[in-house]
């Protein structure tokens, strides 16, 4: 168990979860043949003699797959084995043409490592056992439209599509470190971020590029590990959560009813929200692993590893640490801002241009993220550019506008009203105005046009505050009696009287002086 994991009991039981994730690598050709890995082709049009397992066809290792395995190992601080071995994993399945899968068993290419992430503001760490290279199997088609197109009508028939056979996979295996389904999903999301960030996987879960198997068991605190059941092929974070939650409840109910949990492989049915047993779970001995005689050991020189390290882009964990040291952000904020390269780049551009990293962090994670989520769009589709937001933040920092006024400006920047005059563009030149908004060089015109500039005349503000004090004698007495809420009420009245144009800090200070 990871030292950072804490047990959250469910009906008095401790949940124990480990993950096996099949990550499809972004090579253009398969792991042991030159056949294409492109998705969506007609059945069996992208399978070579090697993929079909024709007699005499021999596998040849794809260097690009090894390169990507090295990159992953470096990303998670793992050991890259100088020599690793490919083995034959023997089992029968209709879409496994050779009758075995080429994988790695005793000596994987990536050994150890860890994945760190935040859950509810708490830092978590999940240890990795290994990450090994292997080939994918084909796909069985049952009364499928693509099958029908390939063999005719297709009703009541099944077929095999070997396009996916031989696609390179990196299987990433964890220790059973996770102690809640929420923690397991958070781990899966962080792993997804890492493999897409470094570019070894496109992360498309709908196409099967990132598939998770969750090994779930329960036990009473302090007891040995319970019998695990493996939920196969979870390709949605939403279904992942539902499947594990159901499995935990089911196992607890079985134990409470006096039944023993049998080790098994199960599938999740999103229509019913239930898991169902597919087969009894195999152990390593059942697969009769032995070294593949057609493939020599995979030897990786230290110079290859170091060259890869020097050429890799800044990793999310390294970037997050830099955000903490360079910008003074909290670890949590830095972690949130490095969820993707585009978000991190947007934040850095805003922070650099405005020279206000904390304000930039608050706006990117707050107002900007809220609107992106509401419209279900990515940050590179945002109508407000990083330059625009930086200019707005600059005007907040120098006191030109208040935080509330800035939100009104931001709202206009996000959805300008048709025909409204902005940045010197007369009515009717909406397209030009919108373009100017996105390329913003000077936000002052908009602030002036909307009358949102903060009051800078102290004498005018003092007169307004005097009027507020005279009209709110009861609140004044309560403040003098030590009622802090009454002071907030006076500040609110003053801000209302200035139509939000006053600087709240200045209002507070003047009120304190006058009530001293």
- Mean pLDDT of residues grouped by 10 in the chain (516 residues)? 59 97 98 95 94 93 98 98 96 89 96 95 95 95 59 68 96 97 97 97 95 97 95 95 97 96 94 87 76 96 97 94 96 93 95 94 96 93 90 90 88 69 41 41 78 77 88 86 85 83 80 82
d(CA 329, CA 176): 32
CATH 1.10.10.410 fits 458-515, yes or no: yes
Residue 73 tokens read as 């190992």
The H-or-E segment that residue 325 falls in is: helix 316-327
Specify burial of residue 170 (Cβ count, 10 A radius: 0-12, 13-18, 19+): buried
Which residues does residue 21 pair with via DSSP β-bridges, in sequence order? 172, 212
pLDDT at 439: 39
Sequence-separated (6 or more) residues with CB below 8 Å from residue 135: 30, 31, 32, 101, 102, 103, 165, 166, 167, 168, 169
Residue 153 tokens read as 């009508």
Q: Are 472 and 514 in contact (CB under 8 A)?
A: no
d(CA 55, CA 15): 48
pLDDT at 431: 46
Q: What is the end-to-end Cα distance of the chain in Å, rounded?
A: 58
**pTM tops 0.85, yes or no:** no
- Residues of CATH 1.10.10.410 domain(s) within the chain? 458-515
Which is it for strands 100-103 and 114-119: parallel, antiparallel or unpaired? unpaired
**Inter-axis angle of helices 484-497 and 458-471, to 10 degrees?**
120
Within 10 A of 404 (CB to CB), how many other CB atoms are there? 12
pLDDT at 283: 66
């Amino acid at each position: 168990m990871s030292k950072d994991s804490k047990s959250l009991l469910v009906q008095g039981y401790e949940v124990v979860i480990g993950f096996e994730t099949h990550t499809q690598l972004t090579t253009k050709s398969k792991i042991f043949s030159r056949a294409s890995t492109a998705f969506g082709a007609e059945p069996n049009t992208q399978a070579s003699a090697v993929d079909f397992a024709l007699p005499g066809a021999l596998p040849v290792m794809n260097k690009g797959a090894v390169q990507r395995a090295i990159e992953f190992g470096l990303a998670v601080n793992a050991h890259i084995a100088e020599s690793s071995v490919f083995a034959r994993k023997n089992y029968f399945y209709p879409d496994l043409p050779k009758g075995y899968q080429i994988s790695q068993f005793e000596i994987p290419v990536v050994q150890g490592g860890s994945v760190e992430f935040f859950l509810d503001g708490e830092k978590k760490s999940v240890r990795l056992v290994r990450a090994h290279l292997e080939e994918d199997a084909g796909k069985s088609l049952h009364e499928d439209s693509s099958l029908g197109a390939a063999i005719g009508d297709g009703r009541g028939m099944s077929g095999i599509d070997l396009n996916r056979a031989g696609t390179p996979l990196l299987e990433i295996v964890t220790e059973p470190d996770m102690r809640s389904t929420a923690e397991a999903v958070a781990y899966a999301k962080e792993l997804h971020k890492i493999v897409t960030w470094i570019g070894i996987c496109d992360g498309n879960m709908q196409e099967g590029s990132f598939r998770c198997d969750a090994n779930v068991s329960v036990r009473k605190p302090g007891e040995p590990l319970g019998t695990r059941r493996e939920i196969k092929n979870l390709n949605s974070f939403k279904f992942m959560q539902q499947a594990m939650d159901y499995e935990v409840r089911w196992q607890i109910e079985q134990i409470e009813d006096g039944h023993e949990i049998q080790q098994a492989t199960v599938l999740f049915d999103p229509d019913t929200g239930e898991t169902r047993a597919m087969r009894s779970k195999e152990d390593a001995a059942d697969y009769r692993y032995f070294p593949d005689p057609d493939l020599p050991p995979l030897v990786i020189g230290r110079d290859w590893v170091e060259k890869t390290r020097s050429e890799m882009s800044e990793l999310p964990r390294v970037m997050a640490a830099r955000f903490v040291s360079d910008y003074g952000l909290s670890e949590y904020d830095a972690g949130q801002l490095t969820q993707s390269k585009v978000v991190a780049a947007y934040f850095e551009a805003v922070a650099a241009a405005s020279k206000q990293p904390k304000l930039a962090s608050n706006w990117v994670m707050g107002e900007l993220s809220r609107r992106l989520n509401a419209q279900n769009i990515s940050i590179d589709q945002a109508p407000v550019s990083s330059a625009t937001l930086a200019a707005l933040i600059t005007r907040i920092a120098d006191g030109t506008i208040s935080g509330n006024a800035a939100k009104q400006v931001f709202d206009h920047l996000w959805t300008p009203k048709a025909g409204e005059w902005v940045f010197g563009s007369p009515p009717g030149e909406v397209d030009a105005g919108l373009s100017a908004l996105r390329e913003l060089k000077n936000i002052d015109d908009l602030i002036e046009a909307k009358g949102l500039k903060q009051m800078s005349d102290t004498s005018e503000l003092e007169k307004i505050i005097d009027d507020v004090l005279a009209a709110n004698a009861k609140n004044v007495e309560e403040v003098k009696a030590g009622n802090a809420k009454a002071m907030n009420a006076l500040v609110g009245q003053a801000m209302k009287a200035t139509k939000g144009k006053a600087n709240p800090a200045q209002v507070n200070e003047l009120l304190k002086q006058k009530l001293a």
